């Protein structure tokens, strides 16, 4: 059965939306992100809850406790058997096989029931949620030509997407449709960056990856959208990296998965 979409947002209300994505079974990163997150009214999850990391059951349990607004990711599909892992690289495929073997039955069924995007956010008509792209849930939105094509066709003002593990945004008024990475100082502390949305523009916004960033910054990434001020705030948070790496090594997952956490790649 598909996961029920519960949304406590009433039409026209002002709401603070915590956006998380691509946790990839990294429990230490998720816990640090939630501890650092400011007060919020609702949590949305853009998928890839599992894959790569060593704590899929624990991460699913915590994620389910945050609310019921999810879209599925490609690793969620592969781990639950909806898709095979034939298009995954060998290390990712090995992690999927490990995840399948170690999922509890309830976790497996929950992952299997996750809905596909794009998904509207009830009560907030300007927002939609996807994992990859509104055109294809598995598409990587990394290049200007693809982002521009999407921005020209989408109706909602703001599309939150994940999948690329890159924190930042595309916007419709940029003729080149360049991707704007968040300009952090990249030091070992909590940081945030406020990004006001302008009227009359459309945005594709990636909150970044909680559990496996790929922009050279190892810290957990997430975002908050305040519908009243129309400001997206991006966050980066250090977490217990060594503990996450040790979990991967102890689980006999490929060692490269532990190494890349420190590289932010």
Please give the pLDDT value at position 4: 34
* pLDDT band, residue 1 (cuts 50/70/90): very low
Mean pLDDT of the residues in the chain:
92
* pLDDT band, residue 178 (cuts 50/70/90): confident
pLDDT at 186 over 90: no
* pLDDT band, residue 5 (cuts 50/70/90): very low
Please give the pLDDT value at position 176: 66
pLDDT digit string, tens, across residues 24-59: 999 999 999 999 999 999 999 999 999 999 999 999
Range in 3-7, 179-183, 200-204 with the lowest mean pLDDT: 3-7
* CA separation for the pair 252, 186 (Å, rounded): 31
Which is more confident, 178 or 7? 178
Q: Is 2 exposed, middle or buried (0-12, 13-18, 19+ CB in 10 A)?
A: exposed
Kindly state the DSSP code that residue 174 receives in the 8-state scheme. -
Average pLDDT over every residue of 186-211? 93
* pLDDT band, residue 14 (cuts 50/70/90): confident
Percent above pLDDT 70 for the chain? 94
pLDDT at 110 over 50: yes
pLDDT digit string, tens, across residues 111-153: 999 999 999 998 899 999 999 999 999 999 998 889 999 999 9
What pTM, to 2 d.p., does this model score? 0.92
Please give the pLDDT value at position 40: 96
Note every long-range contact of 185-191, with CB atoms under 8 Å and residues 24 or more positions apart, other chains counting.
186/216, 186/217, 188/238, 189/238, 190/36, 190/235, 190/236, 190/237, 190/238, 191/219, 191/235, 191/236
Please give the pLDDT value at position 6: 38
User: In the β-sheet with 220-226, what is the strand arrangement from edge to edge?
Assistant: 69-70, 42-45, 16-20, 220-226, 231-237, 191-196
pLDDT at 11 over 60: no
* pLDDT band, residue 245 (cuts 50/70/90): very high
pLDDT digit string, tens, across residues 62-106: 999 999 999 999 999 999 999 888 889 999 999 999 999 999 999
Percent above pLDDT 90 for the chain? 83
Dihedral over Cα of 259, 48, 215, 35: its sign: negative
* pLDDT band, residue 3 (cuts 50/70/90): very low
């Amino acid at each position: 059965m598909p996961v029920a979409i519960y949304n406590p947002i009433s039409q026209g209300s002002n709401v603070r939306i915590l956006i998380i994505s691509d946790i990839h079974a990294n429990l230490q990163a998720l816990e640090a992100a939630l501890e650092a997150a400011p007060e919020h009214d609702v949590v949305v999850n853009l998928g890839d809850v599992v894959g790569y990391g060593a704590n899929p059951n624990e991460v699913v349990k915590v994620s389910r406790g945050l609310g019921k607004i999810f879209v599925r990711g490609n690793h969620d599909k592969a781990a639950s058997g909806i898709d095979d892992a034939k298009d995954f690289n060998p290390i990712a495929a090995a992690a999927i096989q490990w995840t399948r073997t170690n999922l509890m039955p309830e976790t497996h069924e929950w992952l299997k029931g996750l809905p596909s995007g794009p998904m509207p956010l009830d009560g907030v008509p300007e927002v939609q949620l996807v994992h990859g792209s509104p055109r294809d849930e598995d598409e990587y939105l990394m290049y200007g030509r693809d982002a521009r094509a999407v921005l020209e066709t989408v109706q909602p003002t703001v599309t939150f997407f994940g999948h690329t593990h890159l924190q930042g945004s595309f916007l419709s008024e940029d003729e080149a449709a360049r991707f704007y990475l968040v300009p952090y100082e990249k030091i070992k502390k909590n940081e945030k960056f406020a990004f006001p949305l302008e009227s009359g523009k459309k945005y594709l916004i990636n909150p970044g990856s909680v559990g496996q960033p790929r922009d050279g910054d190892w810290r957990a990434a997430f975002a908050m959208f305040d519908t009243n001020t129309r400001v997206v705030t991006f966050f980066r948070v250090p977490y217990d990296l060594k503990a996450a790496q040790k979990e991967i090594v102890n689980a006999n997952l490929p060692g490269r998965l532990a190494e890349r956490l420190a590289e932010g790649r």
